[in-house]
Amino acid sequence: MTTGDWAADADGTPRGLLRACLEAAVAAPSVHNTQPWRFRISGGTVDILADRGRRLAVLDPQGRELLISIGAAVFNLRAAMLAHGRTPVLHLLPAVDEPDLAARITVGPPTRAPATAMMLAEAIPRRHTNRQPFHEVHVPAEALVDLSAAAEAERARLVVTDPRARDAVLDVVRIAEQRRRHDPAYWRELHEWTLPAAERHDGVPPEAFGSWDALETVPIRDFSTVRPAHRRGPAPFEQAPAIAVLYTRGDTPYEWLRGGQALERVLLTATVRGLVSTIMTQPVEVPHLRALLEDPADGNVAQAVLRFGYGPVSAASKRRPLEEVIVPADRPARASARQERKGPDG
């Protein structure tokens, strides 16, 4: 993948490189596969804009999960640029007068990508959310330590639960999931994002709904609840799932963007390790249940519950074509802010 030799067009835009990086960016996970991003290219700079029209008004009134999803796309873009031999220069929320401008990444000097960055970038197309039962195989401690280190590298925190905490966390997820099932507004939103239209390139398709765990040992979000024709088939889930909670150091848009980068780095590290994963954010969407995942003394804020294990390959969900998410560069945003890290290893 590494090559620093990317020809630029007459207008100075390294289009081939940026296209490859955007393909990686849009492969990121996003809540309900809303893909709430747009990209504006100007020379060697990509602006990543929040597409607020794709915010889930019921599930995500603040736009927190929207920005976490964008953070995940930012991580992929950084990793791909580095793997293609160029240093990404990142600014989060660079323009106060353009709040939807979530991040700006500029193509920096040629570099030789570290092995970790290469592996993470290569894992991008292999990472999918897996809602199937996992094998009854223990995840080794070294792998879990790697996952926590991946979160730390992005200035977030991943706490892997011991068996007692795991059961407590899963109880909270289960309560949140069951509560959601009685909320008609939530159903309507779920219905909108699970339309099995053949030509649709967003939303969660029936192939990705997963199986139904009758005992709800693993309380996966039930996308099929509003799609009786695609009810999930019953299957026993693993008895002792590996469960972790991802925390950020605050609950601001800036931290959500950081948390999204951490989330994706953790998920890609898991993929490199041969693990599959599930994101479960139901309890974080209900304030009093979210509080149960937090220790007020340490100031960490819960952003997602994650499940890891070994399991079958799961179906890829579609992505919108790049033509749909690239917007013309006719409205330059004023740049102002501080520089972030340079790449997945910076």
Position 221 contacts ligand FMN (CB under 6 A): yes
Cα 172 versus chain centre, distance? 21
The span from the CA of 196 to the CA of 292, in Å, is 35
Ranges within 178-207 binding ligand FMN (CB under 6 A): 204
- Both tokens of residue 37? 């991003």
d(CA 166, CA 322): 40
Between the two ends of the chain, the Cα-to-Cα distance in Å is 19
Query: Does residue 244 belong to the site contacting ligand FMN (CB under 6 A)?
Result: no
Q: How far apart are CA 241 and CA 133, in angstroms?
A: 10
Interaction between residue 33 and ligand FMN (CB under 6 A): yes
306 binds ligand FMN (CB under 6 A): no
Select the residue whose beta carbon is closest to ligand FMN and give its number.
Answer: 29
Using DSSP bridges, classify how beta strands 37-42 and 86-92 pair: parallel, antiparallel or unpaired. Answer: unpaired
Q: Of 269 and 317, which has the nearer Cβ to ligand FMN?
A: 317
Query: Closest Cα to residue 50, out of 41, 58, 59, 38?
Result: 38
Binding residue for ligand FMN (CB under 6 A) from 17, 21, 22, 29? 29
What is the closest distance, in whole angstroms, from the C-beta atom of residue 44 to ligand FMN in the complex?
Answer: 27
Instruction: Give the range of 109-117, 127-135, 161-169, 179-187 binding ligand FMN by CB under 6 A.
Output: 127-135
Q: Is there binding between residue 72 and ligand FMN (CB under 6 A)?
A: yes
Separation CA 274–CA 293 (nearest Å): 28
| Among the residue ranges 10-18, 27-35, 142-150, 239-247, the one whose residues contact ligand FMN (CB under 6 A) | 27-35
Closer by beta carbon to ligand FMN, 100 or else 329: 100
Give residues 307-326 in contact with ligand FMN (rule: CB under 6 A): 317
Measuring CA to CA, which residue among 9, 223, 232, 267 is closest to residue 127?
267
User: Is there binding between residue 31 and ligand FMN (CB under 6 A)?
Assistant: yes
Minimum CB–partner distance for residue 190 and ligand FMN (Å): 11
DSSP state of 112: P
Among 87, 161, 261, 281, binds ligand FMN (CB under 6 A): 281
How many Å apart are CA 283 and CA 304, to the nearest integer? 8
User: Binding string to ligand FMN for residues 40 to 69, with x set by CB under 6 A, is what?
Assistant: -------------------------x--xx
| Contact between residue 73 and residue 25 where contact means Cβ atoms under 8 Å apart | yes
Among 82, 190, 244, 279, binds ligand FMN (CB under 6 A): 279
Q: Which CB atom, from 157 or from 221, has the smaller least distance to ligand FMN?
A: 221
Beta carbon of residue 129, minimum distance to ligand FMN (angstroms, whole number): 4
- Written as one string, the DSSP assignment of 58-73 is TT-TTSHHHHHHHHHH
The answer to whether the CB of 260 falls within 8 A of the CB of 310 is: no
- Largest Cα separation within the chain, whole Å, is 61
Kindly indicate which of the ranges 2-10, 96-104, 279-287, 322-330 contains the residues binding ligand FMN, using the contact rule CB under 6 A. 279-287
In whole angstroms, what is the distance from residue 160 CA to residue 166 CA?
Answer: 8
Candidate list 131, 180, 227, 290; residue touching ligand FMN; CB under 6 A: 131
CB 142 within 8 A of CB 132: no
Q: Give the residue with the Cβ less far from ligand FMN, 33 or 111.
A: 33
Distance in angstroms (rounded) separating the CA atoms of residues 346 and 343: 5
Interface with ligand FMN (CB under 6 A): 29-33, 65, 68-69, 72, 128-129, 131, 204, 220-221, 278-282, 317
